[in-house]
Structure 1
Amino acid sequence: MKNVFTSPRKLTLLSLSILTALAMPVYAEEQAVDTRNVTITATRTEQEIKETPSAVEVITREDLDKIGAHNLADALQMATSINVSAPAMAGSNITVRGMSTRHSLILINGKRLVSEGSYSTANSYELERINMENVERIEIVRGPVSSMYGSDALGGVINIITRKPEKEEFTFSLSPQRYSDKFSVGNENYFLRYDSGKNSKWSWIVSADRTETDAYTNDDGTAENQFGQRDNFNLEGTYDLSDDTFLDVSINLLREDLKGRTTETSGALRNDTYDNTRDQFSLGLRGKAKNGDYQIRTYYGEHEKINKSFLDSTGQLTDFDVSKRKTWTLEGHLSTQIADNHLLTTGGEIRKEEYRGTRIGTGNNIFDITYGNITKQGSEADMDYSAIYVQDEWLVNDRLLVIPSVRYDDSNRFSGNVSPKLGMTYKMNDNSRLKLNVGKGFKAPTLDDMYMEMTKRMAGMTVHVTGNPDLKPEKSTSYELAIEGERGNTFGKLSYFVNDVKDLISTNTKVSFVPGVGMRADSKYLNEDKADIDGVEFEIGRKLTDKLTLKLNYTYLDATGTTGQRLEGRAKQQGTVQLHYDDNRENGISAVLWNEWKKDYLYSSNDDIHKTYALWNVSVNKKWNENFSSQLGVKNIFNKKDAELNLMGSMVHAGMTFTL
């Protein structure tokens, strides 16, 4: 296996031979692979995964239970071509096909989140905020999807689909996690949910969860992670206006009371507090028409952050920052069957953003804010978006499906952008398909990117970051060719993808010594980078018995920047090997043992630090009866530790779920 992993050419040849065999007609064998999974994210319409041209992966409710996933970062551990890391123990980072965290669009039920928008924090905290207990499935589309979703989807889309009420019941779960070396350190996860079932024409789900995270203390007595308490409250309701028309409402509230400690170069400890709140509200109408279906909805969100810094020795306030973001969105789409072989989807979106805080410097509506003996100045910025899109699902014949789509986005902060895409699925026979995607993507600069004005003490250095109102949108051109198929108990897919990105936003940083201040780093955002990302994805699985399934995924990635240098935070090769067990009983046991590995992970290009490592994990889920189930697992079984990668050793996690 080692020789295969270290030779992309050998792997490609092996993959082609396997998939060629899969592509051969099968007449007598029973197809044992379930290909009935459906996606709505790739095309905004319900479509079988094997039919859609896009590279799609669905993480089911059963998958989440089996691995004991508590948050989104946990849920993505075994996903193809996704790397999850925690570089600073404050939030998590992901790369999708080599594209960074801020280039992935995270949605909940197709709706954007109001969240952090800076170059370094966009999406990072959401991977730990989004609790999995209330999730039905996660749909992942790899590759740019700007033709349907506009800005931010350069790497792909991660759409979390929440559960729908089926019958009246009450659910409670407790999920503790503990480091094996420091068993008093870890976190506690509590979850409550009430499902109303169908009550007249209303159906409701009301849920609340709490995560309490301990401080992880290093050998020098400091704690780098954010610790404290995070609470979520969610209400999702549907009212049946008629048999084919539904009114959807939702309320989602987040409260974070977190702390952290860092060590300054002078030896002084600084305590930080992070008081974050988020309120989101949504109202939507959806239904079926004579020849299709439609949806129109509006949603509003506010996200407020207050960060304060104190000297550990005296409790004196040394710095603070505040920010408040507001977004309002109105969107809708209509899908109509045009003749027997065309499904036409048209839609549009209007979105408005407002940002008020001490870390932007527009000079608009300047205000002063005071905490303790410190007064800081802030200002405001806003951005208006609008977009229209159209897509045709054209069934040319029994073998060929062609899906062209195009979207036009406009804003008061950047010029209009056109994002076309063409996808095709060709059925070579009943058990194999050839897929092709060609498209363009873009990501508009955020208000933070354009108007950032931040000065902060970090790691013993004064850091000053300045935005750039002249930034252009980042743009990409992507190509993808894939072959996939099933033969008996075996299924597989081989994909080759190219993503060429230009006008990437990066920071130009100058470090100097300032008398009386010390070391100072001045950074400004510029469109000075590009990225050439090519890769090969290989997925294969086999149902060994009626209870055991073996799966493997592998990605070879060649990700380079402007001067041909490798991009940091990416592995040259990565993959997972998974052994799944399910006794297929109503009250039974399911389990998974998996190895996730990285080869030639570039941690730091400046210091030329490369990492190669593998982590073993195991999780077992037992359903005792219709009212009680339990879960037990170990992450990083062999206690791998690496301070630079923030691998803190093995962690034991457990869970109990009661349903009444």
Structure 2
Amino acid sequence: MNKPFHGQKLTLLAMSVLAALTMPVYAAEEAVNTRDVVVTATRTEQEIKETPSAVEVITREDLDKIGANNLADALKMATSINVGSPAMAGSDVTVRGMSTRHTLIMVNGKRLVSEGSYSTANSYELERINMENVERIEIVRGPVSSLYGSDALGGVINIITRKPEKEQFTFSLSPQRYTDKSSIGSDNYAMRYDTGKSGKWSWIISADRTETDAYENADNTTKNQFGRRENLNMEGTYDLAGDQYLDVSVNLLREDLNGRSTETSGALRNDDYVNTRDQYSLGFRGKTSNGDYQIRTYYGEHDKTNKGFLLADGSLADFDVSKRKTWTLEGHVSTQIGDRHLLTTGGEYRTEKYRGTRIGTNDKVFDITYGNLTKQGSQADIDYSAFYVQDEWLVNDRLLIIPSVRYDDSNKFSGSASPKVGMTYKMNDHYRLKLNVGKGFKAPTLDDMYMEMTKIMGGMTVHVTGNPDLKPEKSTSYELGIEGEKGATFGKLTYFVNDVTDLISTKTKVSFIPGVGMRADSTYLNEDKADIDGVEFEIGRHLSDKITLKMNYTYLDATGTSGQRLEGRAKQQGTVQLHYDDSKENGISAVLWNEWKKDYLYSSSSKINKTYALWNISVNKKWNDNFSSYVGVENIFNKKDIELNLLGAILQAGMTFKL
């Protein structure tokens, strides 16, 4: 429900953000060159052993070892994360059983301007984010709304890019092919130029291109979107002297993709997806005698044009266009108070405008024509503001307590407070007890509130109507874990609960219309809830100085309003990983891993459960300081399941040159 956006709140926001220019901060949100430290869980540098949150770090070495090209590749061995590939809808990622749209994906702590609908939020980002310029990926499992607000209901995935080191040019290529369809796969090309420090400036310029082939069905439709995707990234730092820095970034995405499907009449149709995204960022950070500070602003535009052509005669069957614009101003500071407290305060102001043919607000109405088709569109916009505070209280040498709370407000929905408290208790030198209790929320998107879409999907006419009276989804979470290491063995056991209310879902009515065919009419409602409980178990042992065995396991009990299991989740899942690294300057590293799922609920209406296991291997060889290569096989034993989009074994190879 709409309400006035209070001027005094904007004033307080501006004051809290501008405070970043005058108050000292304990640590800036940037890459840290050790796998033992994270910045995402608290917005400050903190050892993994100390932070109460359930965190995982995927390092540059990990990415190289498995030959990860994109974010979907990088997450496949992560604990309590399921990466799926629902055919032409990109990829989905569930963290602890929460859906894709409940995961906040960031790059260097910044949100992406992207699709925002109920079914497509985050779905394409896992393939869009290339790993060539990534230093590490930090994952926080469980709600983090107390620091990041909306979208962090399930967790946060923060991709942290490399920082300039020395002048160097890097080029890599990595083809992938299905073993029984050797002409089908993808090719990934990437380059990176690190200028090192040249005068006051240091830059990294990176670019990548992925070309994907069509995987065709027997009827000439395709299981995937195919075509070309390109990224260009420029990130620079200017040394202002006195431990003060100016950060600049430009990130450009271009996609020209296609997918073939079937019209209601049975005619073949080719959909052309042309997407562009431009993002710009400017930030200021610096250090003082007892800390550092940061303030930044970033802007993004995302344009999509989707045209559908009948293959028989090339005529235009349908089209849609959209343009999203977001602008964000944010800052945070952390002040050391005595020996026992580190106080972090921050604020954020964000705007979003969405103009397109799938919005039905009757605001700024426009007509657009392609070929012989004319469509009407309109515009929607939303403003957000937020304030948060966090205290890292070192009670004594054994006990750390971190309370935090964030208040989010908007001109489209009522304000929401998200409190959280975390605790780490050192039982002895080897074992730690960790506890988290908090609340989270997920605001309805402009798509959820104002969508007006009619589209042919799978031979059916689908009509989706938004709901402007939607309320934010809310959650209450509890988490208790014990972790430790002794000798060559390390492990962690965590029990978690996440109860979600006012969950947004769709109410659908299917009917047959003479002359048209089957039609599904859907609208969004706050009528569902979810109770998601589970246990995570991680254990590993260094078998020698070269070989490490790891295992992670998750048991998940995810149910909805009437106690039914939620689709797209496995009751049990995990990985078993055998890592080898000879630790030589020009050496070999390898990983053999099994990823498995038991009772994966593919369809609740048909009560279809899937149980399967995939074996994978990757071997990386560093030949000298300037050349390395890898080979690998994903899904070694050629497991196929059309419903899960498992299409068989994939042979992967790659090489990297440095000049």
Provide, for residues 310-347 of structure 1, a one-character-per-residue CA deviation record: whole Å limited to 9, x for no partner.
00100000100000000000000011100011000000
CA RMSD of aligned residues (A): 0.9
Question: What is the alpha-carbon distance in structure 2 between the residues aligned to residue 589 and residue 40 of structure 1?
Answer: 30
TM alignment of 1:222-237, pairs within 5 A: 222-237=221-236
Question: What is the alpha-carbon distance in structure 2 between the residues aligned to residue 327 and residue 89 of structure 1?
Answer: 26
Runs (4+) off by over 4 Å: none
TM alignment of 1:304-453, pairs within 5 A: 304-453=303-452
TM-score (norm 1): 0.94
2:287 is the counterpart of 1:267: no
Q: Percent identity?
A: 82
Question: What is the alpha-carbon distance in structure 1 between the residues aligned to residue 447 and residue 571 of structure 2?
Answer: 31
Q: Partner residue of 2:94?
A: 95
Residues 538 and 654 of structure 1: CA distance in aligned 2, closer, same or farther (over 3 Å)? same
Structure 2 letter corresponding to 1:124: S
Residues 314 and 35 of structure 1: CA distance in aligned 2, closer, same or farther (over 3 Å)? closer
Q: Partner residue of 1:487?
A: 486
Q: Partner residue of 2:509?
A: 510
Moved more, 217-226 or 595-604: 217-226
Look up the SS of the partner of 1:217 in the other structure: coil
Q: Partner residue of 1:13?
A: none
The 8 Å contact of residues 67 and 592 in structure 1, kept in 2 or not, is answered as yes
Q: Partner residue of 1:122?
A: 121
Look up the SS of the partner of 1:185 in the other structure: strand
Q: Partner residue of 2:11?
A: none
Look up the SS of the partner of 1:170 in the other structure: strand
Question: What is the alpha-carbon distance in structure 2 between the residues aligned to residue 237 and residue 171 of structure 1?
Answer: 17
The 8 Å contact of residues 264 and 517 in structure 2, kept in 1 or not, is answered as no
2:650 is the counterpart of 1:657: no
Provide, for residues 522-569 of structure 1, a one-character-per-residue CA deviation record: whole Å limited to 9, x for no partner.
000000100000000000000001100000000000000000000000
2:140 is the counterpart of 1:141: yes
Q: Partner residue of 1:288?
A: 287
The 8 Å contact of residues 35 and 59 in structure 2, kept in 1 or not, is answered as no
Structure 2 portions without partners, runs of 5+: 1-32
TM-score (norm 2): 0.94
Structure 1 letter corresponding to 2:381: D
Deviation at 1:263, TM superposition (A): 2.0
Structure 2 letter corresponding to 1:481: L
Q: Partner residue of 2:24?
A: none
Q: Partner residue of 2:108?
A: 109
Q: Partner residue of 2:52?
A: 53
Q: Partner residue of 1:520?
A: 519
Deviation at 1:292, TM superposition (A): 2.0
Moved more, 638-647 or 265-274: 265-274
Question: What is the alpha-carbon distance in structure 1 between the residues aligned to residue 88 and residue 140 of structure 2?
Answer: 27
Structure 2 letter corresponding to 1:615: L
Question: What is the alpha-carbon distance in structure 1 between the residues aligned to residue 243 and residue 46 of structure 2?
Answer: 19
Provide, for residues 434-465 of structure 1, a one-character-per-residue CA deviation record: whole Å limited to 9, x for no partner.
00000000000000000000001111111100
Q: Partner residue of 2:499?
A: 500
Question: What is the alpha-carbon distance in structure 2 between the residues aligned to residue 35 and residue 126 of structure 1?
Answer: 26
Provide, for residues 491-510 of structure 1, a one-character-per-residue CA deviation record: whole Å limited to 9, x for no partner.
00000000000000000000
Q: Partner residue of 2:5?
A: none
Provide, for residues 344-384 of structure 1, a one-character-per-residue CA deviation record: whole Å limited to 9, x for no partner.
00000000000000001000000000000000000000000
Look up the SS of the partner of 1:183 in the other structure: strand
Q: Partner residue of 1:568?
A: 567
Question: What is the alpha-carbon distance in structure 2 between the residues aligned to residue 519 and residue 173 of structure 1?
Answer: 48
2:212 is the counterpart of 1:181: no
Question: What is the alpha-carbon distance in structure 1 between the residues aligned to residue 221 and residue 454 of structure 2?
Answer: 24
The 8 Å contact of residues 35 and 49 in structure 1, kept in 2 or not, is answered as no
Q: Partner residue of 2:558?
A: 559
Question: What is the alpha-carbon distance in structure 2 between the residues aligned to residue 464 and residue 222 of structure 1?
Answer: 23
Question: What is the alpha-carbon distance in structure 1 between the residues aligned to residue 529 and residue 441 of structure 2?
Answer: 13
Question: What is the alpha-carbon distance in structure 1 between the residues aligned to residue 488 and residue 34 of structure 2?
Answer: 12
The 8 Å contact of residues 496 and 535 in structure 1, kept in 2 or not, is answered as yes
Q: Partner residue of 1:245?
A: 244
Deviation at 1:36, TM superposition (A): 6.0
The 8 Å contact of residues 97 and 155 in structure 1, kept in 2 or not, is answered as yes
Structure 1 letter corresponding to 2:190: F
Moved more, 497-506 or 219-228: 219-228
Structure 2 letter corresponding to 1:454: M
Residues 36 and 183 of structure 1: CA distance in aligned 2, closer, same or farther (over 3 Å)? closer
Aligned length: 627
Deviation at 1:575, TM superposition (A): 0.1
Question: What is the alpha-carbon distance in structure 2 between the residues aligned to residue 198 and residue 325 of structure 1?
Answer: 36
The 8 Å contact of residues 40 and 140 in structure 2, kept in 1 or not, is answered as yes
Q: Partner residue of 1:589?
A: 588
Question: What is the alpha-carbon distance in structure 1 between the residues aligned to residue 112 and residue 459 of structure 2?
Answer: 33
Question: What is the alpha-carbon distance in structure 1 between the residues aligned to residue 60 and residue 452 of structure 2?
Answer: 43
Deviation at 1:513, TM superposition (A): 1.4
The 8 Å contact of residues 35 and 50 in structure 1, kept in 2 or not, is answered as no
Provide, for residues 470-527 of structure 1, a one-character-per-residue CA deviation record: whole Å limited to 9, x for no partner.
0000000000000000000000000000000000000000011122222111000000
Provide, for residues 103-161 of structure 1, a one-character-per-residue CA deviation record: whole Å limited to 9, x for no partner.
00000000000000000000000000000011000000000000000000000000000
The 8 Å contact of residues 615 and 637 in structure 2, kept in 1 or not, is answered as yes
Look up the SS of the partner of 2:181 in the other structure: coil
Structure 1 letter corresponding to 2:141: R
Question: What is the alpha-carbon distance in structure 2 between the residues aligned to residue 53 and residue 242 of structure 1?
Answer: 36
Deviation at 1:281, TM superposition (A): 0.1
Structure 2 letter corresponding to 1:291: N
Question: What is the alpha-carbon distance in structure 1 between the residues aligned to residue 228 and residue 87 of structure 2?
Answer: 18
Look up the SS of the partner of 1:397 in the other structure: coil
Deviation at 1:219, TM superposition (A): 2.5
Structure 2 letter corresponding to 1:207: S
The 8 Å contact of residues 231 and 251 in structure 2, kept in 1 or not, is answered as yes
Structure 1 letter corresponding to 2:452: E
Deviation at 1:201, TM superposition (A): 1.4
Question: What is the alpha-carbon distance in structure 1 between the residues aligned to residue 242 and residue 488 of structure 2?
Answer: 40
Structure 2 letter corresponding to 1:542: R
TM alignment of 1:76-95, pairs within 5 A: 76-95=75-94
The 8 Å contact of residues 404 and 420 in structure 2, kept in 1 or not, is answered as yes
Question: What is the alpha-carbon distance in structure 1 between the residues aligned to residue 176 and residue 48 of structure 2?
Answer: 34
Look up the SS of the partner of 1:184 in the other structure: strand
Q: Partner residue of 1:637?
A: 636
Residues 131 and 36 of structure 1: CA distance in aligned 2, closer, same or farther (over 3 Å)? closer
Question: What is the alpha-carbon distance in structure 2 between the residues aligned to residue 292 and residue 545 of structure 1?
Answer: 40
Question: What is the alpha-carbon distance in structure 1 between the residues aligned to residue 116 and residue 449 of structure 2?
Answer: 11
Question: What is the alpha-carbon distance in structure 1 between the residues aligned to residue 154 and residue 566 of structure 2?
Answer: 15
TM alignment of 1:610-625, pairs within 5 A: 610-625=609-624
Structure 1 letter corresponding to 2:66: I
Provide, for residues 271-292 of structure 1, a one-character-per-residue CA deviation record: whole Å limited to 9, x for no partner.
0000000000000001112332
Q: Partner residue of 1:26?
A: none
Structure 1 portions without partners, runs of 5+: 1-33
